[in-house]
Structure 1
Amino acid sequence: MNVKVEELSSIKKKLSVEIPAELVKEQIDLAYQQIGKKASLKGFRKGKIPAGLLRRHFAPQMREQVLDQLIKDGYMRAMAENRIQAVGSPEIVDLSTIEEGQAFTFEAHVEVKPEPEAKDYTGLKLEKEKFSFDAKVIDDRLEEMRAARANLEVSSRKVARNGDYAIIDFEGFVADEPIESGKGEEYQLELGSNSFIPGFEEKVVGMKREQTKEFEVTFPEEYGNKDLAGQPALFKVVLKELKEKVIPELDDEFAKEVGLESLAELRTKIEENYREQEEARIEEEVREKLMDALIEKNPLEVPEAMVQRQLEFMLENASNRLRMQGMSLEMLGLDENSFKAQYQESAVKQVQGSLLLEAIARQEKIEAADDEIDGKMEEIAAQVNATVDDVRKQYGSPEARANLVNHLVEEKAIEFLFDKATVKEVKAKKAEKEPTEKKAPAKKKAPAKKTTAAKKTTAKDKE
């Protein structure tokens, strides 16, 4: 077998493979033997069809079978002989026909894992936000906790206002036709929450209990249902009841409801959590800056197969997180394709970063020692409340252990880069206020009776 390897780019190679005629004949004979055992032809018992008739009637099946086998065998052998590490399936760009007595040739493009030589990775200049304690955050979180534990009670007022929970029946129409899934009964809507179509809640504000009202609103251009996007709609609404939040007092009794002894202890706990979260956020941000600086000094192509694999990983993680919150991509106006399009750039950067860290580890001879691997397993066991033996079993396969070792080596490479970098602490930049643009938020579920979809959003689930 003759193989010619041509480098198309740093991440793609072309294989030109020629399989000699004698090997082609062997595969043809083998294919007819296998086909003959199962083939049926009128006038002959299964397995008893003469060779001439078999070749006359079953040549297409033979060619398909031989073609697949020759490409598979030829590709695998070419990759092994030339020590090429592919990261995806080959793309067959050209091939000859299967003919007895003739050699078979094919050309394949294959993506390969790049092995870059990292440079200029020491002395990176980075800015790191200096942690600044903000007491207002603690007060805000206490208020959020109070609001989360508020009870809804029927209001004595007759007129709806912002902040009320309106219990409504509604039905929507576009061009005098009922909107599919545009009807709800006893739907609980928080006025001022912007959880319905823009303008809808404002029309309900001011309505009186038991009042029926008709009004027009327009679906936003970015609405998930393309048939409704940008369309004017008429809604008929009946205000059935008004409820309002009754918020508990902020005192020691409130603290005891959340499992602590006093309000002072609750404040301390919130402060500790706030500090931990902020420090983790700051560390994550400076780590991103480090990787951005590294990639900027070492731009490199990455195989599409590796990017797609990373996107699948990110999609699975995001879907799992949303599922734990009782949500889904669809509730955010996303599907698999739109999610991947949104995070394409992020996935490319993560693959680039991983390849560069691997290169730095190789160049600096950074490795993970056995005691470090054991320590990581103990850390994982503590995090997931499992025994170390259980974690060892989880990482018992060669592939799982290799993934753990790669993760440790990457972390050590990052530590190396930080040790060699110049990190300057700076004050946090104050966020500039931007005009808020109303979007179509996620639909809400009604607490009772028949309720259908009100609205979708295009909110993002950031990694």
Structure 2
Amino acid sequence: MSTSPATVESNQVKIEDAGPARKKITVTVSADAVKARLETGFGALKNETALPGFRKGRAPRELLQRRFGDALLKETRDQIHSEAYGQAIEANKLQPVGNPEMTPECRDVALEVGKPFIFSIEVEVAPEFTLPNTDGIEVKRPIFEIKDEHVDLEIRRQGYRFGNATRITGPFQPLDRMLCEVKAFKNADAEPFFTNDRALVVVPDTADEGKGQLLGLLVEDLGPRVEGKKVGDAITVETTGPEQHEREDLRGAKIRVELIVKDADRIEPLNDQGLAEKLSLDTVDNLKGQVRLALERQRDSEQKSAEREQVYTFLAEAVDFPLPEKMSQAQSTRNVEMARMDLLQRGVDPNDVETKLAEIRGESDANTRRRLKLFFILARLAEEMKIDVTEAELNGRIAGIAMQRGTRPDQLRNEIDKAGKLGELAHSIREHKTADRILEKAKFIDVPAEEWNEQQNKEVAAKRTSSKSAASGDKPAKTSKAKK
């Protein structure tokens, strides 16, 4: 256990290791300093207090002590806690990443005149580690050509997106949209933890092999449970809360969702000419040209994402250090929000974002800790590389997302700001810029997209096998693939 004493003004400070990336700060405030602080407090109290029978500033000290002594002692103690902690952090150049916690034996320690005041605080701090050399790392670049069949598939998808909804009663088939009364229960609870009178549930597409998103959870057999049903039917869906869900009480819980279908729509997709006119492109040739350009931009974005992911893998494997335990537990929520920003920046259809987030919630604990490790490594690299995010870059990224979503940039910025997510977006941009700086000096190897995807599938299968052999039951993290 390492210790490092430091004197801050009249306080004696000792810093000790208290666990992974956790420090115990013990502060000793001298008896003279305690006395001086109390005298200052009583002086201010006397000058500001008016008691019956005494003019302001004339009340006897004994009377003030009887009436306000305990409160003054507590207030002074809290002030010393706060000031001494801040001074210790600054003097020892610590970087707290969590809230300070008073050690149990010190929580009720009171100030006593004539005695030194000793207390201890524990806090999680940024871990210490040595950065690896990132020059010339090898990066595979998946190469993929946009062909006519890809354009046709995207036009079909957009035809459904902008198609006309027709009210139906059933039986339901893939891509039908149901509005349901929903009640969700966990374990054996009699009361639901979530209710909604008009929750949207989409019947999974055939290509999804029955998997679908329900209330932010990825349900493996949603398709078979809802296909063939009709308006008025009661449907029960059972699943297990992922171990990395933002809500701790849902992690590993048995979840039962009861649905009553109130209404349903079936989308009649627009034909190619109808879609061209809907998008003000006049002709099918213009539509195909615009779709091809959009697919090429998305391909380039996915390619860059795959390159960055290889940088992240290199960094995660090149450095090892203990992680703050409590911050690790809170990382699940941050993973979801960072992923939301990343998906939107990459041009993923907003309708698909929640399904992908449901997959991320099911990631393994090992992948959650990997993401936290990268958070610290990339932050250190960005600091050393002097990488910042300007307001223009932030607004530019928001404008790009707004264009993909078909909304105004100022409206989207207000939404992100109200949700308190501007910081997350700026951090995401900073991490991307840091990875891109490393990629500037990387050695690239071009590989066909088919070969790249085959490699990624093998890695996912290996993780799945490893996870099962460890009897962890966690779902492996989804790996970036080249666009198909």
TM-score clears 0.5? yes
1:299 corresponds to which letter in structure 2?
Answer: D
Please report how far the alpha carbon of residue 280 of structure 1 lies from its aligned counterpart in structure 2 after TM superposition: 0.9
> In 2, Cα distance between the equivalents of 1:326 and 1:404?
20
SS at match of 1:3: strand
> In 2, Cα distance between the equivalents of 1:228 and 1:351?
31
Structure 2 residue runs without a partner (length 5+):
1-9, 215-221, 243-248, 401-423, 461-476
Matched residue, 1:279: 300
Matched residue, 1:18: 28
Matched residue, 1:220: 238
> In 2, Cα distance between the equivalents of 1:171 and 1:407?
34
SS at match of 1:141: helix
Question: What does residue range 305-454 of structure 1 map to in structure 2 within 5 Å?
Answer: 344-345=368-369, 347-358=371-382, 361=384, 366-367=385-386, 414-415=435-436, 417-428=438-449, 429-430=453-454
Matched residue, 1:68: 78
Greater RCO (CA < 8 Å, at least 6 residues apart)? 1
Deviation string 1:15-54 (CA, Å, 9 cap, x unpaired) is 3322221221122223334445677988878866532243
Matched residue, 2:62: 52
Deviation string 1:420-455 (CA, Å, 9 cap, x unpaired) is 433322223258799xxxxxxxxxxxxxxxxxxxxx
Deviation string 1:110-165 (CA, Å, 9 cap, x unpaired) is 4444453323433433333222334322111111222334334579xx98574697
2:272 corresponds to which letter in structure 1?
Answer: L
- Inter-CA distance 351–29: structure 2 relative to 1 (3 Å threshold): same
SS at match of 2:34: helix
- Inter-CA distance 163–76: structure 2 relative to 1 (3 Å threshold): closer
Matched residue, 1:451: none
Deviation string 1:78-135 (CA, Å, 9 cap, x unpaired) is 3444444444443332545311111112223344444533234334333332223343
Pick the aligned partner of 1:31 from 41, 44, 53: 41
Higher helix share: 2
- Inter-CA distance 283–90: structure 2 relative to 1 (3 Å threshold): same
**Is the contact between residue 225 and residue 237 of structure 2 (CA under 8 Å) also seen in structure 1?**
no
Indicate yes or no: 2:290 matched with 1:269.
yes
Matched residue, 1:132: 145
> In 2, Cα distance between the equivalents of 1:406 and 1:165?
37
Indicate yes or no: 2:153 matched with 1:117.
no
> In 1, Cα distance between the equivalents of 2:75 and 2:294?
63
**Is the contact between residue 173 and residue 228 of structure 2 (CA under 8 Å) also seen in structure 1?**
no
Tell me the matched-pair count: 392
- Inter-CA distance 69–124: structure 2 relative to 1 (3 Å threshold): same
> In 1, Cα distance between the equivalents of 2:150 and 2:330?
39
Deviation string 1:344-389 (CA, Å, 9 cap, x unpaired) is 4364044133244247x3xxxx557xxx99xx77666766679xxx
**Is the contact between residue 3 and residue 18 of structure 1 (CA under 8 Å) also seen in structure 2?**
yes
> In 2, Cα distance between the equivalents of 1:312 and 1:169?
27
Matched residue, 2:467: none
Indicate yes or no: 2:30 matched with 1:6.
no
> In 2, Cα distance between the equivalents of 1:165 and 1:12?
51
Q: TM-score, normalised by structure 1?
A: 0.61
Pick the aligned partner of 2:119 from 75, 91, 106: 106
Please report how far the alpha carbon of residue 77 of structure 1 lies from its aligned counterpart in structure 2 after TM superposition: 3.2
1:91 corresponds to which letter in structure 2?
Answer: E
Deviation string 1:203-231 (CA, Å, 9 cap, x unpaired) is 546x9xxxx9x8x7543134899999459
**Is the contact between residue 115 and residue 355 of structure 1 (CA under 8 Å) also seen in structure 2?**
no
The CA RMSD over aligned residues, in Å, is 5.9
Deviation string 1:261-288 (CA, Å, 9 cap, x unpaired) is 3212211211111111012111111111
- Inter-CA distance 164–287: structure 2 relative to 1 (3 Å threshold): closer
> In 1, Cα distance between the equivalents of 2:296 and 2:25?
56
> In 1, Cα distance between the equivalents of 2:386 and 2:177?
61
1:275 corresponds to which letter in structure 2?
Answer: E
Greater Rg, structure 1 or structure 2?
1
Please report how far the alpha carbon of residue 73 of structure 1 lies from its aligned counterpart in structure 2 after TM superposition: 2.8
2:313 corresponds to which letter in structure 1?
Answer: D
Which stretch has the larger CA shift, 420-429 or 303-312?
A: 303-312
> In 1, Cα distance between the equivalents of 2:22 and 2:166?
66
Quote the sequence identity (%): 19
> In 2, Cα distance between the equivalents of 1:462 and 1:47?
71
Matched residue, 1:389: none
- Inter-CA distance 5–358: structure 2 relative to 1 (3 Å threshold): farther
> In 1, Cα distance between the equivalents of 2:167 and 2:430?
59
Please report how far the alpha carbon of residue 68 of structure 1 lies from its aligned counterpart in structure 2 after TM superposition: 0.9
**Is the contact between residue 116 and residue 355 of structure 1 (CA under 8 Å) also seen in structure 2?**
no
> In 1, Cα distance between the equivalents of 2:82 and 2:478?
41
Indicate yes or no: 2:303 matched with 1:293.
no
- Inter-CA distance 340–298: structure 2 relative to 1 (3 Å threshold): closer
1:142 corresponds to which letter in structure 2?
Answer: I
Structure 1 residue runs without a partner (length 5+):
387-402, 435-459
**Is the contact between residue 25 and residue 100 of structure 1 (CA under 8 Å) also seen in structure 2?**
yes
SS at match of 1:98: coil
- Inter-CA distance 266–66: structure 2 relative to 1 (3 Å threshold): same
**Is the contact between residue 198 and residue 217 of structure 1 (CA under 8 Å) also seen in structure 2?**
no
2:381 corresponds to which letter in structure 1?
Answer: L
1:288 corresponds to which letter in structure 2?
Answer: E
- Inter-CA distance 54–319: structure 2 relative to 1 (3 Å threshold): farther
Pick the aligned partner of 1:141 from 154, 157, 170: 154
